[in-house]
Amino acid sequence: MPHLFSPIKIKNKEIKNRIVMPPMVCFGYAGNNGFVSEKNIRHYEARAKGGAGLIIVEATCIARDGRLASDQLGIWSDEHIEGLKRLSQACQFHGAAVLIQIHHAGLRAPRDVAETVLAPSRCSEYIDDNRLVRELTVEDIKTIQQDFIKAAKRAKEAGFDGIELHGAHGYLISQFASPITNKRTDQYGGSLENRMRFAVEIIRQLKEFADENFIIGYRMGGNEPTLENGIQIAKILEDAGVELLHVSAGISSPEFPQPEVPREFPENLIVYCGTRIKSRVNIPVIVVNGIRMPQQAEYLVENNLADMVAVGRGLLIDPDWANKAKHGSEIKPCLACKRCLWYTEPDKCPGKD
């Protein structure tokens, strides 16, 4: 696997291989109020020890009322820094680079987190129970942007090699980017440039304090809501100064057709979008979704279809995925049983010891 195990330099950071652990929330692991627990540390440490070059710690919330679940990890207070520092150090000790995904759920905050949800627009058809939705004022927007900046500063203080803005999967940043959930008529809505203003203003402020050792990553929807739009979003992010793009899914809707994946392309739609975006930008791109076997990952890097490849559920079931790939040892396969998915106990993964 010569390509998968070649190093890559992002800013000043040399990452030892192209294997990424993508962010995956471990429900039930964090302590009260989003504090890092021993279980969180052991979970990431095992994947770093198992050889993954880059670990992106799960969606960690920048504001109490923006959590996607009441047991989500937090980075909204200086008090979170100490536990997060132990987590970053545990990964770096084993030679992994480590970013942390910073996040706000917007419309998708559950009732036990926020009685009234905050969103770009009053898009109540997008949430499944009768919740009050408050359209963010410009003042609210500035406050949440500052919450992202403060969270990134805490991540830097906690020793992370950078942050990843969670701009995918229909959470707040994605809700701004998407014409499906953003119906604003001010400077934060309407044209794509306006819809991206929320994110771009955050990125510009991050650039003011991020030195050469601190990476600014962004997870975006490759189909937000179309691939053409995804490509435009990627270019806007590149121009704004994002240094690492991670292409996953956006908010889709039947009104917006999905791209046809060519028959000869060996992976799924999400990976395809990532590879198309990779061909249109000059910053490193991580692709993800359904990549289970080292040969799949090697093919994508070898053919310059991706700079890095994220292996999510594959690394949940087998923390040693990367080292086993390197030595040609047998990897425990993900059984696609979905027991690791939302709001369930990650320990139910049948491969876990």
Ligand X SMILES: Cc1cc2nc3c(=O)[nH]c(=O)nc-3n(C[C@H](O)[C@H](O)[C@H](O)COP(=O)(O)O)c2cc1C
Q: Does 181 bind ligand X (CB under 6 A)?
A: no
Answer for which of 4, 59, 196, 215 binds ligand X (CB under 6 A) is 59
Among candidate residues 126, 171, 188, 299, the one labeled active-site is 171
User: Which amino acid is present at 158?
Assistant: A
Instruction: Give the range of 22-30, 114-122, 154-162, 276-284 binding ligand X by CB under 6 A.
Output: 22-30
CB of 164 to ligand X, least distance (A): 8
User: Which amino acid is present at 268?
Assistant: N
**Of 28 and 190, CB closest to ligand X:** 28
Please confirm, yes or no, whether 171 is among the known catalytic residues. Answer: yes
Q: Which of residues 298-337 bind ligand X (CB under 6 A)?
A: 311-314
Tokens 């009050």 correspond to: 132
Dihedral sign (CA 51, 213, 233, 125): positive
Cα gap 69→108, rounded to integer Å: 9
DSSP for 102-159, written as a single string: EE--GGG--TTT-SEEEESS--GGGSSS--EEEEPPHHHHHHHHHHHHHHHHHHHHTT
Answer for which of 17, 40, 88, 101 binds ligand X (CB under 6 A) is 101
Other beta carbons within 10 Å of 283: 17
- Interface with ligand X (CB under 6 A), residue total 22
Q: Does 136 bind ligand X (CB under 6 A)?
A: no
Instruction: Give the range of 82-90, 128-136, 272-280, 285-293 binding ligand X by CB under 6 A.
Output: 285-293
CB of 245 to ligand X, least distance (A): 13
Instruction: Give the range of 12-20, 118-126, 137-145, 287-295 binding ligand X by CB under 6 A.
Output: 287-295
Q: Does 252 bind ligand X (CB under 6 A)?
A: no
Going by C-beta distance under 8 Å and a sequence separation of 6 or more, which residues neighbour residue 20?
52, 53, 54, 55, 56, 246, 286, 288, 308, 309, 310, 311
> What size, in residues, is the chain?
353
Interface ranges with ligand X (CB under 6 A)? 22-25, 58-59, 101, 166, 168-169, 219, 248, 288-291, 311-314, 340-341
